[in-house]
Amino acid sequence: MPPWHIDRTIGEYTADPSLSDEEIQAIATWVDSGAPRGNPADAPPPLDLASLNEWTHGEPDLVVQMKEGFKIPAEGADFYPSEIVDPGLTEDRYVKWVQIIPEAYCCVHHSHVYVSVPETAEDLESFRLGMGSNTEEIDLIEYAMGSTGQFYPDGTGRKLPAGGLFRFAPHYHPWGEEKIDRQKVGIKFYPKGVVPELIVTAHRIRTGFGDTTGN
């Protein structure tokens, strides 16, 4: 969003969104004059906004939803719960697109879905707590208001491993009214047997640490 954080007087950047001095002055003059509305006849047609509850890229092959969901109080501090759901993946599949749809949009600052195949009970507990694990942990998708999901161009995609568990990890902010949120994630796969040429990766590592005494 202009003006951005880069000093426009230093260097050159592709797709530089900086405003010129003249553009900045035009905005300042408009604001100082009370931000008058222009001629309605010159306005563009109203936007036809898509429903926030519909999938952006078509119907997914797999929909996984929180089983319990979370109650968000009317007031209080932000909080970061998590819920693990088994999507029942019996074979490796490759993702063409993925999207999160929350129910309580007004309270969701952002949300992730992580995927892991925990090998031990300790790994499962670490995964549940969001501490990473000794096994592969994939950051499948992140949602924030306005997100329309992650769509991968042809020949690219993300691998979902067989036996992978999903962990919903939302960040909630109370909004003045109690809400219930049961998020769902929709996934469109490449056809079985198709492996994209380029595999996108985004992994988490264990965030805890210990000393040499094992503590």
Compute the average pLDDT of residues 17-21. 85
Q: Give which of 100, 110, 97 is closest to 52, Cα–Cα.
A: 100
- 2 pLDDT above the threshold of 70: no
- Looking at the domain assignment, is residue 50 inside a domain? no
| Token code pair at residue 114 | 């992580």
- Assess whether the previous peptide bond of 3 is cis (omega < 30° from 0): yes
* Residue 75 pLDDT grade (very low, low, confident, very high; cuts 50, 70, 90): very high
On whether residue 79 sits in a domain, the answer given is yes
SS3 content of the chain, % helix, strand, coil (to 5): 10, 30, 60
Average pLDDT over every residue of 185-210: 80
**Side-chain half-sphere exposure of 8, counting CA atoms within 13 A:** 10
Q: Which two tokens stand for residue 105?
A: 């949009």
Residue 176 is part of a domain; what is its CATH number? 2.60.120.230
Residues 130, 134, 138, 144: what is their CA dihedral angle, to the nearest 10 degrees? 20
For the segment 64-78, the average pLDDT, to the nearest whole number, is: 96
Query: Is position 118 within any domain?
Result: yes
> Which residue range forms the structural domain that includes residue 189?
62-199
Kindly report which listed range (10-14, 108-112, 169-173) carries the lowest average pLDDT score: 10-14
**pLDDT (tens digit, 9 = 90+) per residue, 106-124?**
999 999 999 988 777 777 7
69 found inside a domain: yes
8 belongs to a structural domain: no
Task: Give Cα separations from 87 to 14, 62, 149, 163 (angstroms).
Answer: 42, 8, 19, 8
**150 in a structural domain:** yes
Strand-pair category, 198-199 with 156-160: parallel
Confidence of residue 143 (pLDDT cuts 50, 70, 90): very high
Helices (H) and strands (E) in the chain, counts: 2, 12
Q: How many domains does the chain have?
A: 1
87-101, 139-153, 171-185, 196-210, range with the lowest pLDDT? 196-210
CB distance 58 to 188 below 8 Å: yes
Residue 176, in any domain of the structure: yes
Beta strand spans in the chain (E) = 62-65, 70-72, 83-85, 93-101, 108-116, 137-143, 150-151, 156-160, 165-172, 179-181, 184-189, 198-199
Whole-number pLDDT of residue 161: 92
In a domain, 81, yes or no: yes
